[in-house]
Amino acid sequence: MNTKNVYIGIFAIAIIICVLSPFLASGDPDGLEASAEHLNPDALEAQQVISPIMPDYTLEDMEDNPLVGVGCLIIGAIISVALAYGVFYIVSNKN
């Protein structure tokens, strides 16, 4: 099997996950934010030091549109793959 086909398959799976996750994700997850609220209810109201580009995988004034979430997830996946490829390219060329 060609490694190019493996990369295409992995990227296709990532895109499928990006498309489906906004529709399958819970509206009230019990993750990091819930843990922070349990420890300190005022923790999430603190002033942010850095303003996120895509907070909660949405864009400003478009929080209720799941297609915006899909787009943000796809952009995030592409950026992650590009960064990983760049790091692996630099590391592999040093040898």
The tens digit of pLDDT for each residue in 63-91 reads 777 788 788 888 888 888 889 888 988 98
Percent of the chain with pLDDT over 90: 3
Answer with the residue of higher pLDDT: 61 or 10. Answer: 10
Name the token pair of 83: 């960064």
What is the arithmetic mean of pLDDT over 17-28? 79
Rounded Cα–Cα distance for residues 79 and 72 (Å): 11
Cα 8 to Cα 19, 48, 76, distances in angstroms? 16, 38, 17
Range in 1-5, 8-12, 61-65 with the lowest mean pLDDT: 61-65
3-state secondary structure of 26: coil
Residues 84 and 91: beta-carbon distance below 8 Å: no
Model pLDDT, residue 43: 64
Name the token pair of 20: 């489906």
Rounded Cα–Cα distance for residues 17 and 20 (Å): 5
